[in-house]
Amino acid sequence: MTHVREIAETPTVTNPAPDNFANPGPDLLGRPLQEVRINEMKMIGVADPDGTIRFV
């Protein structure tokens, strides 16, 4: 999950909008708007053998 969190926090444009402006427009320096694409995520292992979620 750490990798997914880091990818989500990565900025995708080099010209961020000012605080009071929601849309910065196209990126003039040529960076793509979509840098990372997660196609599939698999969970490996079993958290609890009987299938219930327990909070410790």
pLDDT tens digits, one per residue of 3-55 = 667 766 666 556 566 666 666 566 556 555 556 677 887 777 666 667 666 66
Supply the range of the domain harboring residue 26: 1-56
How far is 38 from 54, CA to CA, in rounded Å? 29
Q: What total of structural domains would you count in the chain? A: 1
How far is 26 from 33, CA to CA, in rounded Å? 9
What is the predicted pLDDT for the residue at 40?
82
What is the predicted pLDDT for the residue at 32?
55
C-beta neighbour count of 53 within 10 angstroms: 6
DSSP secondary structure, the chain, as one string: -HHHHHHHHS---SSPPPTT-S---S-TT---S-----------S-S-TTS-----
What is the predicted pLDDT for the residue at 10?
63
